[in-house]
Protein backbone atom coordinates (compact mmCIF):
# COMPACT_ATOMS: atom_id res chain seq x y z
CA UNK A 1 0.00 0.00 0.00
CA UNK A 2 1.42 3.38 -1.02
CA UNK A 3 1.20 6.43 1.18
CA UNK A 4 0.25 9.48 -0.89
CA UNK A 5 0.36 12.74 1.14
CA UNK A 6 -2.27 15.41 0.65
CA UNK A 7 -1.49 18.48 -1.44
CA UNK A 8 -2.40 22.01 -0.37
CA UNK A 9 -5.26 21.94 -2.91
CA UNK A 10 -6.55 18.72 -1.31
CA UNK A 11 -6.53 20.33 2.12
CA UNK A 12 -8.33 23.44 0.87
CA UNK A 13 -11.02 21.32 -0.77
CA UNK A 14 -11.55 19.31 2.41
CA UNK A 15 -11.78 22.46 4.58
CA UNK A 16 -14.24 24.00 2.17
CA UNK A 17 -16.38 20.86 2.30
CA UNK A 18 -16.67 20.98 6.10
CA UNK A 19 -17.03 24.76 6.27
CA UNK A 20 -13.80 25.96 7.86
CA UNK A 21 -11.14 28.37 6.64
CA UNK A 22 -8.19 27.23 8.74
CA UNK A 23 -7.05 23.89 10.19
CA UNK A 24 -6.73 25.55 13.61
CA UNK A 25 -10.53 25.65 13.72
CA UNK A 26 -10.53 21.88 14.08
CA UNK A 27 -8.91 22.29 17.49
CA UNK A 28 -11.11 25.12 18.78
CA UNK A 29 -12.38 22.99 21.67
CA UNK A 30 -8.83 22.38 22.95
CA UNK A 31 -7.71 25.12 25.39
CA UNK A 32 -5.22 27.41 23.67
CA UNK A 33 -2.45 26.73 26.19
CA UNK A 34 -2.52 23.01 25.34
CA UNK A 35 -2.76 23.15 21.55
CA UNK A 36 0.87 23.46 20.62
CA UNK A 37 3.00 22.51 23.64
CA UNK A 38 6.76 22.87 23.58
CA UNK A 39 7.89 19.24 23.38
CA UNK A 40 11.51 20.08 24.22
CA UNK A 41 12.81 17.37 21.93
CA UNK A 42 16.55 16.61 21.83
CA UNK A 43 18.65 17.52 18.82
CA UNK A 44 18.04 15.33 15.75
CA UNK A 45 20.24 12.26 15.18
CA UNK A 46 21.37 10.48 12.06
CA UNK A 47 20.14 6.96 11.36
CA UNK A 48 23.57 5.62 12.32
CA UNK A 49 23.48 7.45 15.65
CA UNK A 50 19.95 6.28 16.39
CA UNK A 51 20.90 2.64 15.74
CA UNK A 52 23.92 2.94 18.01
CA UNK A 53 21.78 4.35 20.83
CA UNK A 54 19.13 1.68 20.39
CA UNK A 55 21.77 -1.06 20.47
CA UNK A 56 23.12 0.36 23.74
CA UNK A 57 19.62 0.42 25.24
CA UNK A 58 18.93 -3.15 24.10
CA UNK A 59 22.18 -4.33 25.69
CA UNK A 60 20.75 -3.35 29.10
CA UNK A 61 18.12 -6.09 28.82
CA UNK A 62 18.66 -9.56 30.26
CA UNK A 63 17.96 -11.42 27.03
CA UNK A 64 17.51 -15.17 26.87
CA UNK A 65 20.40 -15.72 24.50
CA UNK A 66 22.79 -14.81 27.31
CA UNK A 67 20.85 -15.65 30.47
CA UNK A 68 19.37 -18.93 31.64
CA UNK A 69 15.71 -18.48 32.53
CA UNK A 70 13.49 -20.45 34.91
CA UNK A 71 10.65 -17.94 34.78
CA UNK A 72 7.29 -19.07 33.39
CA UNK A 73 3.96 -18.12 34.96
CA UNK A 74 2.09 -17.89 31.66
CA UNK A 75 4.87 -16.89 29.23
CA UNK A 76 7.36 -19.58 28.30
CA UNK A 77 10.74 -19.93 26.66
CA UNK A 78 10.31 -22.66 24.06
CA UNK A 79 12.37 -23.23 20.93
CA UNK A 80 11.02 -21.58 17.77
CA UNK A 81 12.19 -23.25 14.50
CA UNK A 82 13.62 -20.77 11.99
CA UNK A 83 10.96 -21.68 9.44
CA UNK A 84 8.27 -20.04 11.60
CA UNK A 85 9.77 -16.55 11.31
CA UNK A 86 10.53 -17.18 7.64
CA UNK A 87 6.87 -17.85 6.89
CA UNK A 88 5.32 -15.06 8.96
CA UNK A 89 7.79 -12.54 7.52
CA UNK A 90 6.40 -12.95 4.01
CA UNK A 91 4.78 -9.75 2.80
CA UNK A 92 1.38 -11.29 2.17
CA UNK A 93 1.15 -12.42 5.79
CA UNK A 94 3.07 -9.79 7.71
CA UNK A 95 0.20 -7.29 7.85
CA UNK A 96 -2.55 -9.87 8.33
CA UNK A 97 -5.76 -8.35 9.66
CA UNK A 98 -9.50 -8.72 9.24
CA UNK A 99 -10.16 -9.89 5.65
CA UNK A 100 -12.94 -7.47 4.72
CA UNK A 101 -13.03 -9.05 1.28
CA UNK A 102 -12.15 -12.55 2.49
CA UNK A 103 -12.50 -14.56 -0.69
CA UNK A 104 -9.62 -12.70 -2.36
CA UNK A 105 -7.37 -13.54 0.63
CA UNK A 106 -7.10 -17.25 -0.09
CA UNK A 107 -3.61 -17.62 1.40
CA UNK A 108 -4.62 -15.92 4.63
CA UNK A 109 -7.84 -17.94 4.83
CA UNK A 110 -6.08 -21.23 4.21
CA UNK A 111 -3.53 -20.44 6.94
CA UNK A 112 -6.36 -19.70 9.39
CA UNK A 113 -8.18 -22.89 8.35
CA UNK A 114 -5.05 -24.97 8.94
CA UNK A 115 -4.57 -23.30 12.33
CA UNK A 116 -8.15 -24.09 13.32
CA UNK A 117 -7.84 -27.70 12.17
CA UNK A 118 -4.63 -28.39 14.09
CA UNK A 119 -5.79 -26.69 17.28
CA UNK A 120 -9.08 -28.63 17.12
CA UNK A 121 -7.11 -31.88 16.92
CA UNK A 122 -4.82 -30.76 19.75
CA UNK A 123 -7.61 -29.77 22.14
CA UNK A 124 -10.07 -32.49 21.20
CA UNK A 125 -12.72 -29.90 20.35
CA UNK A 126 -14.99 -29.52 17.33
CA UNK A 127 -14.55 -25.84 16.46
CA UNK A 128 -11.82 -23.24 16.90
CA UNK A 129 -11.89 -19.54 16.11
CA UNK A 130 -9.01 -17.51 14.71
CA UNK A 131 -8.49 -15.96 17.23
CA UNK A 132 -8.26 -13.83 20.41
CA UNK A 133 -5.72 -11.40 21.83
CA UNK A 134 -4.16 -13.71 24.44
CA UNK A 135 -4.92 -16.40 26.99
CA UNK A 136 -6.49 -13.99 29.46
CA UNK A 137 -8.96 -12.42 27.03
CA UNK A 138 -9.85 -15.89 25.74
CA UNK A 139 -10.91 -16.80 29.28
CA UNK A 140 -12.99 -13.62 29.52
CA UNK A 141 -14.62 -14.33 26.15
CA UNK A 142 -15.46 -17.84 27.40
CA UNK A 143 -17.41 -16.30 30.28
CA UNK A 144 -19.35 -13.99 27.96
CA UNK A 145 -20.03 -16.85 25.54
CA UNK A 146 -21.39 -19.04 28.37
CA UNK A 147 -23.79 -16.32 29.51
CA UNK A 148 -24.99 -15.93 25.90
CA UNK A 149 -25.47 -19.69 25.61
CA UNK A 150 -27.56 -19.58 28.79
CA UNK A 151 -29.64 -16.75 27.24
CA UNK A 152 -28.57 -14.43 30.07
CA UNK A 153 -30.64 -16.43 32.56
CA UNK A 154 -27.46 -17.48 34.41
CA UNK A 155 -24.90 -14.79 35.19
CA UNK A 156 -22.44 -16.23 37.72
CA UNK A 157 -18.94 -17.44 36.77
CA UNK A 158 -17.25 -19.83 39.22
CA UNK A 159 -13.47 -19.62 38.96
CA UNK A 160 -10.76 -21.85 40.38
CA UNK A 161 -8.21 -20.07 42.62
CA UNK A 162 -5.42 -21.73 40.62
CA UNK A 163 -6.52 -20.12 37.37
CA UNK A 164 -3.78 -17.66 36.38
CA UNK A 165 -4.26 -14.62 38.69
CA UNK A 166 -3.86 -12.19 35.79
CA UNK A 167 -6.51 -14.08 33.81
CA UNK A 168 -8.85 -13.59 36.74
CA UNK A 169 -8.09 -9.87 36.79
CA UNK A 170 -8.79 -9.54 33.07
CA UNK A 171 -11.99 -11.55 33.46
CA UNK A 172 -13.28 -9.16 36.12
CA UNK A 173 -12.29 -6.16 34.01
CA UNK A 174 -14.14 -7.57 31.01
CA UNK A 175 -17.42 -8.27 32.79
CA UNK A 176 -17.65 -5.14 34.91
CA UNK A 177 -20.91 -3.39 34.13
CA UNK A 178 -22.40 -6.55 32.60
CA UNK A 179 -24.34 -7.65 35.68
CA UNK A 180 -22.16 -10.75 36.05
CA UNK A 181 -20.61 -12.19 39.21
CA UNK A 182 -17.19 -13.86 39.44
CA UNK A 183 -16.76 -16.06 42.51
CA UNK A 184 -14.78 -19.04 43.76
CA UNK A 185 -11.24 -17.71 43.81
CA UNK A 186 -11.53 -15.71 47.02
CA UNK A 187 -10.11 -18.64 49.01
CA UNK A 188 -7.08 -20.80 48.27
CA UNK A 189 -8.94 -24.10 48.43
CA UNK A 190 -8.04 -25.90 45.20
CA UNK A 191 -10.49 -28.72 45.83
CA UNK A 192 -12.88 -29.25 42.93
CA UNK A 193 -15.60 -30.14 45.45
CA UNK A 194 -15.53 -26.52 46.63
CA UNK A 195 -16.18 -25.32 43.07
CA UNK A 196 -19.03 -27.80 42.66
CA UNK A 197 -20.59 -26.63 45.93
CA UNK A 198 -20.57 -23.05 44.62
CA UNK A 199 -22.26 -24.07 41.37
CA UNK A 200 -26.00 -23.40 41.48
CA UNK A 201 -28.96 -22.41 39.30
CA UNK A 202 -27.35 -19.05 38.50
CA UNK A 203 -23.98 -20.49 37.39
CA UNK A 204 -23.28 -20.14 33.68
CA UNK A 205 -19.70 -21.37 33.65
CA UNK A 206 -17.05 -23.00 35.82
CA UNK A 207 -13.46 -22.18 34.81
CA UNK A 208 -10.45 -24.28 35.81
CA UNK A 209 -6.90 -24.56 34.55
CA UNK A 210 -5.06 -27.80 33.78
CA UNK A 211 -2.09 -27.80 34.23
CA UNK A 212 -3.00 -25.03 36.67
CA UNK A 213 -1.08 -21.84 37.40
CA UNK A 214 1.03 -23.66 40.01
CA UNK A 215 1.96 -26.33 37.48
CA UNK A 216 -0.21 -29.02 39.06
CA UNK A 217 -1.97 -31.64 36.96
CA UNK A 218 -5.49 -32.88 37.49
CA UNK A 219 -6.09 -36.40 36.23
CA UNK A 220 -8.52 -37.08 33.38
CA UNK A 221 -10.82 -38.83 35.83
CA UNK A 222 -10.84 -35.81 38.16
CA UNK A 223 -11.64 -33.57 35.22
CA UNK A 224 -14.37 -35.89 33.93
CA UNK A 225 -15.96 -36.04 37.39
CA UNK A 226 -15.87 -32.24 37.56
CA UNK A 227 -17.41 -31.92 34.10
CA UNK A 228 -20.19 -34.37 34.98
CA UNK A 229 -20.98 -32.54 38.22
CA UNK A 230 -21.00 -29.13 36.52
CA UNK A 231 -23.21 -30.36 33.67
CA UNK A 232 -25.58 -31.99 36.15
CA UNK A 233 -26.21 -28.52 37.57
CA UNK A 234 -26.88 -27.07 34.12
CA UNK A 235 -23.64 -25.10 33.82
CA UNK A 236 -20.78 -25.27 31.31
CA UNK A 237 -17.12 -26.10 31.93
CA UNK A 238 -14.19 -24.13 30.49
CA UNK A 239 -10.64 -25.43 30.77
CA UNK A 240 -7.59 -23.21 30.31
CA UNK A 241 -4.61 -25.32 29.33
CA UNK A 242 -1.03 -25.35 28.03
CA UNK A 243 -0.86 -26.42 24.34
CA UNK A 244 2.59 -27.94 24.87
CA UNK A 245 1.26 -30.15 27.67
CA UNK A 246 -1.33 -31.51 25.25
CA UNK A 247 1.53 -33.16 23.41
CA UNK A 248 1.42 -35.87 26.11
CA UNK A 249 -1.80 -35.26 28.06
CA UNK A 250 -5.39 -36.17 27.31
CA UNK A 251 -7.08 -33.23 25.56
CA UNK A 252 -9.84 -31.38 27.46
CA UNK A 253 -12.40 -32.22 24.79
CA UNK A 254 -12.14 -35.88 25.78
CA UNK A 255 -13.05 -35.28 29.42
CA UNK A 256 -16.10 -33.08 29.02
CA UNK A 257 -14.90 -29.51 28.50
CA UNK A 258 -17.35 -27.26 26.67
CA UNK A 259 -14.82 -24.49 26.00
CA UNK A 260 -11.03 -24.76 25.89
CA UNK A 261 -8.76 -21.72 26.08
CA UNK A 262 -5.00 -21.37 26.07
CA UNK A 263 -2.15 -18.95 25.68
CA UNK A 264 -0.76 -19.72 22.24
CA UNK A 265 2.54 -17.91 22.77
CA UNK A 266 4.20 -21.29 23.33
CA UNK A 267 3.42 -22.30 19.75
CA UNK A 268 6.11 -20.54 17.74
CA UNK A 269 5.72 -17.06 19.23
CA UNK A 270 8.58 -15.39 21.08
CA UNK A 271 8.36 -13.99 24.59
CA UNK A 272 8.77 -10.43 23.26
CA UNK A 273 8.43 -8.70 26.64
CA UNK A 274 4.82 -9.79 27.00
CA UNK A 275 3.20 -9.58 23.59
CA UNK A 276 1.61 -9.62 21.17
CA UNK A 277 0.37 -13.07 22.11
CA UNK A 278 -2.34 -15.43 20.91
CA UNK A 279 -5.63 -16.40 22.56
CA UNK A 280 -6.61 -19.94 21.63
CA UNK A 281 -10.38 -20.49 21.80
CA UNK A 282 -12.04 -23.85 21.07
CA UNK A 283 -15.60 -25.03 21.72
CA UNK A 284 -18.38 -27.47 20.88
CA UNK A 285 -19.97 -27.14 17.46
CA UNK A 286 -23.44 -26.72 18.95
CA UNK A 287 -22.31 -23.42 20.49
CA UNK A 288 -20.68 -22.05 17.36
CA UNK A 289 -23.15 -19.20 16.83
CA UNK A 290 -22.57 -17.90 20.34
CA UNK A 291 -18.81 -17.71 19.86
CA UNK A 292 -16.78 -14.60 19.22
CA UNK A 293 -14.15 -14.25 16.54
CA UNK A 294 -14.01 -15.56 13.01
CA UNK A 295 -14.19 -19.08 11.63
CA UNK A 296 -12.78 -20.07 8.26
CA UNK A 297 -14.26 -22.96 6.31
CA UNK A 298 -13.36 -25.01 3.24
CA UNK A 299 -15.69 -25.24 0.25
CA UNK A 300 -15.63 -25.50 -3.55
CA UNK A 301 -16.25 -22.81 -6.14
CA UNK A 302 -18.57 -22.95 -9.17
CA UNK A 303 -15.98 -24.99 -11.05
CA UNK A 304 -15.50 -27.49 -8.25
CA UNK A 305 -12.12 -26.15 -7.16
CA UNK A 306 -11.26 -26.06 -3.48
CA UNK A 307 -11.50 -22.67 -1.83
CA UNK A 308 -11.68 -21.06 1.59
CA UNK A 309 -14.32 -18.69 2.92
CA UNK A 310 -15.07 -16.72 6.04
CA UNK A 311 -17.79 -19.08 7.25
CA UNK A 312 -18.77 -17.25 10.40
CA UNK A 313 -17.87 -13.90 11.93
CA UNK A 314 -20.51 -13.39 14.56
CA UNK A 315 -18.66 -10.63 16.30
CA UNK A 316 -17.48 -8.59 13.34
CA UNK A 317 -18.29 -4.92 13.82
CA UNK A 318 -18.69 -4.37 10.08
CA UNK A 319 -21.45 -6.99 9.86
CA UNK A 320 -23.72 -6.51 12.89
CA UNK A 321 -21.95 -4.37 15.42
CA UNK A 322 -24.99 -3.79 17.64
CA UNK A 323 -25.64 -7.55 17.92
CA UNK A 324 -22.04 -8.77 18.02
CA UNK A 325 -21.13 -11.41 20.58
CA UNK A 326 -18.05 -9.39 21.54
CA UNK A 327 -16.71 -5.90 21.04
CA UNK A 328 -13.23 -6.99 20.02
CA UNK A 329 -12.35 -5.43 16.68
CA UNK A 330 -9.19 -7.29 15.72
CA UNK A 331 -7.35 -10.50 16.45
CA UNK A 332 -3.85 -11.90 16.48
CA UNK A 333 -3.85 -13.26 12.93
CA UNK A 334 -0.07 -13.16 12.54
CA UNK A 335 0.43 -14.96 15.86
CA UNK A 336 -2.11 -17.60 14.84
CA UNK A 337 -0.19 -18.05 11.59
CA UNK A 338 3.01 -18.53 13.61
CA UNK A 339 1.24 -21.18 15.68
CA UNK A 340 0.09 -22.96 12.53
CA UNK A 341 3.62 -22.90 11.10
CA UNK A 342 5.02 -24.19 14.39
CA UNK A 343 2.52 -27.05 14.66
CA UNK A 344 3.04 -28.03 11.03
CA UNK A 345 6.83 -27.96 11.40
CA UNK A 346 6.89 -29.89 14.69
CA UNK A 347 4.17 -32.41 13.92
CA UNK A 348 2.62 -34.54 16.65
CA UNK A 349 5.89 -36.36 17.32
CA UNK A 350 7.87 -33.15 17.64
CA UNK A 351 5.28 -31.61 19.97
CA UNK A 352 5.33 -34.75 22.09
CA UNK A 353 9.12 -34.56 22.29
CA UNK A 354 9.01 -30.95 23.50
CA UNK A 355 6.48 -31.92 26.16
CA UNK A 356 8.51 -34.94 27.27
CA UNK A 357 11.73 -32.94 27.54
CA UNK A 358 9.98 -30.24 29.55
CA UNK A 359 8.45 -32.86 31.84
CA UNK A 360 11.66 -34.78 32.52
CA UNK A 361 13.87 -31.72 32.93
CA UNK A 362 11.39 -30.12 35.33
CA UNK A 363 11.26 -33.27 37.45
CA UNK A 364 15.03 -33.53 37.49
CA UNK A 365 15.26 -29.94 38.70
CA UNK A 366 12.58 -30.50 41.35
CA UNK A 367 14.35 -33.59 42.70
CA UNK A 368 17.66 -31.74 42.99
CA UNK A 369 16.18 -28.62 44.60
CA UNK A 370 14.17 -30.67 47.09
CA UNK A 371 17.46 -31.97 48.51
CA UNK A 372 18.81 -28.48 49.33
CA UNK A 373 18.57 -27.56 53.00
CA UNK A 374 15.98 -24.87 53.57
CA UNK A 375 14.02 -25.54 50.36
CA UNK A 376 10.89 -27.63 49.91
CA UNK A 377 9.29 -28.57 46.61
CA UNK A 378 5.50 -28.81 46.91
CA UNK A 379 4.52 -32.19 45.49
CA UNK A 380 0.89 -32.50 46.57
CA UNK A 381 -0.09 -33.35 42.99
CA UNK A 382 1.74 -34.34 39.80
CA UNK A 383 3.13 -31.40 37.84
CA UNK A 384 4.13 -30.68 34.26
CA UNK A 385 6.91 -28.12 33.67
CA UNK A 386 6.30 -25.78 36.60
CA UNK A 387 6.44 -26.43 40.33
CA UNK A 388 6.29 -24.52 43.60
CA UNK A 389 9.38 -24.20 45.80
CA UNK A 390 9.11 -22.93 49.38
CA UNK A 391 12.20 -20.84 50.07
CA UNK A 392 14.13 -19.94 53.25
CA UNK A 393 14.21 -16.24 52.35
CA UNK A 394 12.12 -13.76 50.35
CA UNK A 395 12.05 -14.74 46.69
CA UNK A 396 13.06 -11.23 45.55
CA UNK A 397 16.36 -11.52 47.44
CA UNK A 398 17.06 -14.99 46.05
CA UNK A 399 16.26 -13.91 42.50
CA UNK A 400 18.58 -10.94 42.80
CA UNK A 401 21.43 -13.19 43.86
CA UNK A 402 20.73 -15.62 41.01
CA UNK A 403 20.81 -12.82 38.45
CA UNK A 404 23.81 -10.89 39.76
CA UNK A 405 26.05 -13.84 40.60
CA UNK A 406 25.05 -16.50 38.08
CA UNK A 407 23.22 -14.73 35.26
CA UNK A 408 20.11 -16.78 36.02
CA UNK A 409 16.58 -15.40 35.75
CA UNK A 410 14.81 -16.99 38.71
CA UNK A 411 11.22 -18.03 39.26
CA UNK A 412 7.98 -16.15 39.77
CA UNK A 413 7.44 -14.69 43.25
CA UNK A 414 4.13 -16.11 44.52
CA UNK A 415 3.92 -13.96 47.66
CA UNK A 416 1.57 -11.39 46.15
CA UNK A 417 -0.89 -13.78 44.49
CA UNK A 418 -0.72 -16.64 47.00
CA UNK A 419 0.45 -15.13 50.32
CA UNK A 420 -0.61 -18.24 52.24
CA UNK A 421 2.33 -20.08 50.62
CA UNK A 422 4.81 -17.76 52.34
CA UNK A 423 8.18 -17.24 50.62
CA UNK A 424 7.45 -19.41 47.61
CA UNK A 425 8.75 -19.41 44.05
CA UNK A 426 7.17 -20.85 40.91
CA UNK A 427 9.97 -22.35 38.82
CA UNK A 428 9.60 -23.33 35.17
CA UNK A 429 11.82 -25.70 33.17
CA UNK A 430 11.41 -26.26 29.43
CA UNK A 431 13.34 -28.06 26.70
CA UNK A 432 15.48 -24.91 26.42
CA UNK A 433 17.11 -25.45 29.83
CA UNK A 434 20.24 -27.59 29.73
CA UNK A 435 21.34 -29.92 32.53
CA UNK A 436 24.26 -27.59 33.20
CA UNK A 437 21.87 -24.65 33.69
CA UNK A 438 19.75 -26.70 36.07
CA UNK A 439 22.81 -27.78 38.05
CA UNK A 440 23.98 -24.16 38.25
CA UNK A 441 20.55 -23.18 39.54
CA UNK A 442 20.75 -25.81 42.26
CA UNK A 443 24.19 -24.57 43.33
CA UNK A 444 23.06 -20.94 43.29
CA UNK A 445 19.95 -21.67 45.34
CA UNK A 446 22.08 -23.47 47.92
CA UNK A 447 24.36 -20.46 48.22
CA UNK A 448 21.51 -17.94 48.27
CA UNK A 449 20.00 -19.33 51.47
CA UNK A 450 23.12 -18.82 53.59
CA UNK A 451 23.29 -15.99 56.19
CA UNK A 452 26.55 -14.73 54.68
CA UNK A 453 24.87 -14.06 51.33
CA UNK A 454 22.00 -12.38 53.16
CA UNK A 455 24.36 -9.85 54.74
CA UNK A 456 26.01 -9.04 51.42
CA UNK A 457 22.63 -8.42 49.81
CA UNK A 458 21.59 -6.15 52.66
CA UNK A 459 24.69 -4.02 52.09
CA UNK A 460 24.18 -3.84 48.31
CA UNK A 461 20.55 -2.85 48.73
What confidence score (pLDDT) does residue 292 get?
83
CATH number of 68-79+348-460: 3.90.1150.10
User: pTM (2 decimals)?
Assistant: 0.88
223-262 pLDDT, tens digit per residue, is 999 999 999 999 999 999 999 999 999 999 999 999 999 9
Mean pLDDT, residues 8-35 taken together: 92
What confidence score (pLDDT) does residue 318 get?
55
Q: For residue 190, is pLDDT > 80?
A: no
Identical fold for domains 68-79+348-460 and 82-344, yes or no, is: no
Please report, for the chain, the start and end positions of each structural domain, with discontinuous segments joined by +.
68-79+348-460, 82-344
Does domain 82-344 sit in CATH 3.40.50.2020? Answer: no
- H/E/C letters for each residue in the chain? CCCCCCCHHHHHHHHHHHCCCCHHHHHCCCCHHHHCCCCCCCCCCCHHHHHHHHHHHHCCCCCCCCCEECCCCCCCCCCCCHHHHHHHCCHHHHCCCCCCCHHHCHHHHHHHHHHHHHHHHHHCCCEECCCECCHHHHHHHHHHHHHHHCCCCCCEEEECCCCCHHHHHHHHHHHCCCCCEEECCCCCCCCHHHHHHHCCCCEEEEEEECCCCCCECCCHHHHHHHHHHHHHCCCEEEEEECCCHHHCCCCHHHHCCCEEEEEHHHCCCCCHHHCCCCEEEEECHHHHHHCCCEEEEEEECCCCCEEEEEEEECCCHHHHHHHCCCCCCCCCHHHHHHHHHHHHHHHHHHHHHHHHHHHHHHHHHHHHHHCCCCCEECCCCCECCEEEEECCCCHHHHHHHHHHHHCEECCEECCCCCHHHCCEEEEECCCCCCHHHHHHHHHHHHHHCCHHHHHHHHHHC
Q: For residue 137, is pLDDT > 60?
A: yes
Mean pLDDT, residues 192-214 taken together: 97
47-89 pLDDT, tens digit per residue, is 999 999 999 999 988 889 899 999 999 999 999 999 999 999 8
What confidence score (pLDDT) does residue 327 get?
61
352 exposure class (CB count in 10 Å sphere: 0-12, 13-18, 19+): middle
Q: Which residues contact 461 (CB under 8 A, 6 or more apart)?
A: none
105-114 pLDDT, tens digit per residue, is 788 889 999 9
309-359 pLDDT, tens digit per residue, is 888 875 554 556 666 777 665 667 889 999 999 999 999 999 999 999 999
Amino acid sequence: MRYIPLTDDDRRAMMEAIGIEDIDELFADVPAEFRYPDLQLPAPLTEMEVMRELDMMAAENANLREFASFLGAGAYNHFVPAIVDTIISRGEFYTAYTPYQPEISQGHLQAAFEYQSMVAALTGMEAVNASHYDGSTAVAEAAIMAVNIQRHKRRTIVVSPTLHPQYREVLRTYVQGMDMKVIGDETHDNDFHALIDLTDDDTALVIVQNPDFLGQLHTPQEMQDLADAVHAKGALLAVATDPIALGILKPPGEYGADIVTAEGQVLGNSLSFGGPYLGIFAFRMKHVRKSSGRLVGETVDADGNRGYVLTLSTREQHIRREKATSNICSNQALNALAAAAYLAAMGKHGLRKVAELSWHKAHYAAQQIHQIDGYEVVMDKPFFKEFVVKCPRPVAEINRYLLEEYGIIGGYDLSRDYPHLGDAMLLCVTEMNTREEIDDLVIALGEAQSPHIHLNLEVSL
